[in-house]
Amino acid sequence: MELAKKGDLIYIPSDVRLVDKDEFGATIDYILLKKPANLLVVGANNDAYEVLYKQKKWFVEKRNTYGVTYD
């Protein structure tokens, strides 16, 4: 998959963990998706995308995501 950029949608399957991190990169909260979701990318770093989910920013590991195709 090509790397997603800010403004792209990505597909995240169920049972994938979304994490919230503090300014030092330490995990302060997490949730496990119960259903698959298409989420908006609002940022990225080397290993993770920053996405919006339920009006909050979360990080998801890039290896757990898939691109969304526009047919």
DSSP codes joined into one string, 6-63: TT-EEEE-TT-EEEEE-TTS-EEEEEE-SS-EEEEEEEE-SSEEEEEETTEEEEEEGG
3-state secondary structure of 67: strand
Tell me the C-alpha distance between 33 and 71, whole Å: 26
Residues 18, 59 contacting (CB under 8 angstroms)? yes
pLDDT value, residue 67 = 87
41-58 pLDDT per residue, tens: 999 988 999 999 999 999
User: Is a pLDDT exceeding 70 seen at residue 71?
Assistant: no
Q: How confident is the model at residue 1 (pLDDT cuts 50, 70, 90)?
A: low
